[in-house]
Amino acid sequence: MDHLDEISVEELQDALDNVEGNKPTQRLLAAIAYKNGVTQSELAEWHDTGRRTIYSWLMRLDTDEPLEQAVSDAHRSGRKRKLSESQQKEFEQIVHQPPEEVGIDAPAWTPVLVQEFLEDSYDVEYSYPSCRRLLKEAGLSYQKPRRRAAEAAESDQEEFHDEIKKSDRRWTPK
């Protein structure tokens, strides 16, 4: 690549010292290796990617902007949230309480229960996986009942079965 002739290995190494993140680092390391005689095909194999991807990484350096910016991706904001920031905070406070506190007859929060609650309370529809993500963002973690030995005392076995009934698919604070 002729355009890499204008960039020295020292410039690439200086840029490497000033970047943060895996992708920019990976791109600069690939450029340094390329400048040291490694082929694009070898780089593609090393980085477990396609040769075209390596070519694109190297083409990014053909710019007037600083190398640190050339190898970094632009910020991607993603889709706008369905809940406003205040609604999100309110929701997070609510799920840290048992569902009975908001008038729902259930022992614990589940993604399906959250889905119904959000639709009823905020008139927004969330998918099941998104409800799991919201619970996780709220600081809750999925708890599965642990198995205990069948040789346990009968009273312990009864306690275990009661625990399973109460905590099936339960999200609880971490």
Q: What region does 152 belong to: left with phi over 0, alpha with psi -120 to 50, or beta?
A: beta
Q: For residue 3, name the pLDDT band (cuts at 50, 70, 90).
A: low
Question: Distance between CA atoms of 141 and 147, rounded to whole angstroms?
Answer: 18
Q: For residue 174, name the pLDDT band (cuts at 50, 70, 90).
A: low
Over residues 44-85, the pLDDT tens digits come to 999 999 999 999 999 988 888 888 888 888 888 888 889 999
How far are the Cα atoms of 32, 34, 55, 71, 101 from residue 49, in angstroms, in the given order?
17, 15, 11, 16, 51
pLDDT at residue 146, rounded to an integer = 64
pLDDT at residue 95, rounded to an integer = 93
Cβ(83)–Cβ(44) below 8 Å: no
pLDDT at residue 38, rounded to an integer = 92
- Give the three-class secondary structure for 168: coil
Is the overall model pTM greater than 0.75, yes or no? no
Cβ(15)–Cβ(71) below 8 Å: yes
Over residues 74-125, the pLDDT tens digits come to 888 888 889 999 999 999 999 999 999 999 988 889 899 999 999 999 999 9
pLDDT at residue 152, rounded to an integer = 67
Structure tokens at 15: 């840029």
Using the structure block, give the residue that is written with the tokens 């920031």: 85
Domain boundaries, the chain: 2-70, 85-173
Contacts of 142 (CB under 8 A, 6+ apart): 132, 135, 169, 170, 171
Over residues 121-156, the pLDDT tens digits come to 999 999 999 999 999 999 988 776 666 556 667 777
pLDDT at residue 148, rounded to an integer = 57
pLDDT at residue 76, rounded to an integer = 81
pLDDT at residue 94, rounded to an integer = 94
pLDDT at residue 108, rounded to an integer = 87
Cβ(35)–Cβ(9) below 8 Å: yes
Over residues 13-25, the pLDDT tens digits come to 998 998 888 999 9
Q: Is the predicted pLDDT of residue 173 greater than 70, yes or no? A: no
Calculate the average pLDDT of the chain: 85
Structure tokens at 18: 């000033």
